[in-house]
Amino acid sequence: MVTDAACKKKWLNLLRTYKATKDTRNRTGRGPVKFEYFNRLDELLDDSPSNASPHSLDVSEIETTDSQCESQSDSSINLQVETETSSFASLQLGKRKNPTAELVKIKRRYFENKVEKANEKETNRNLYLQENLRLKTEKVEISKKKLELEERKLQVLEDLKNILKEKDM
């Protein structure tokens, strides 16, 4: 339900924004400022926000006779607004029955995915380390075989040297 205080506050906020926009437009050196209702308020206020416009309503000045006449229509409007808001609320509830439960589900899914990704990352890292270790052990084995071959070559060369030495003597 819209109250007179809410209307007055809304009007004062619109008026304040209008004045600020108007002042900014009059100054030089600033970029353009966009205010959605500027042209409409300019029409209503006749380029002067201090003027009382016949289009604007001051809620505090409504007479009691007017309010009594309007109270009957207001009650029917209030009833209509309440039914619309309740139907809107029921539509909202139909879509999202329990927002906290949905939030919990979303957070749970988020953290489950995060844990799953962390586990996957850990397994990939372990696989990488295992593969790296396997390659290093293969390199060590190859180096050992090379060393053995070099030792055998050395032994063969020494044997050949000894054989040639014996022939020369």
Q: What are the C-alpha distances in Å from 109 to residues 97, 104, 114, 117, 134?
A: 18, 8, 8, 12, 37
* Global pTM value: 0.34
Q: Which range has the top average pLDDT, 23-37, 51-65, 81-95?
A: 23-37
Lowest mean pLDDT among 11-15, 44-48, 57-61, 111-115: 57-61
Whether 48 and 66 have beta carbons less than 8 Å apart is answered as: no
CA-closest candidate to residue 4, choices 48, 67, 53: 67
Q: Can you point out the beta strands (E) in 4-163?
A: none
Q: How confident is the model at residue 60 (pLDDT cuts 50, 70, 90)?
A: very low
Whether 14 and 41 have beta carbons less than 8 Å apart is answered as: yes
Q: What is the pLDDT of residues 4-22, one digit of tens each?
A: 888 888 888 888 887 777 7
**Which residues fall within 8 angstroms of residue 53, CB to CB, at 6 or more apart?**
44, 45, 46
Whether 60 and 11 have beta carbons less than 8 Å apart is answered as: no
> DSSP labels for 107-131?
HHHHHHHHHHHHHHHHHHHHHHHHH
Q: What is the pLDDT of residues 67-120, one digit of tens each?
A: 444 554 555 555 455 555 555 455 444 554 677 888 888 888 999 999 999 999
Question: What are the counts of helices (DSSP H) followed by strands (DSSP E) for the chain?
Answer: 4, 0
Measured CA to CA, the distance from residue 31 to residue 60 in angstroms comes to 38
- Report residue 142 as tokens: 């190859």
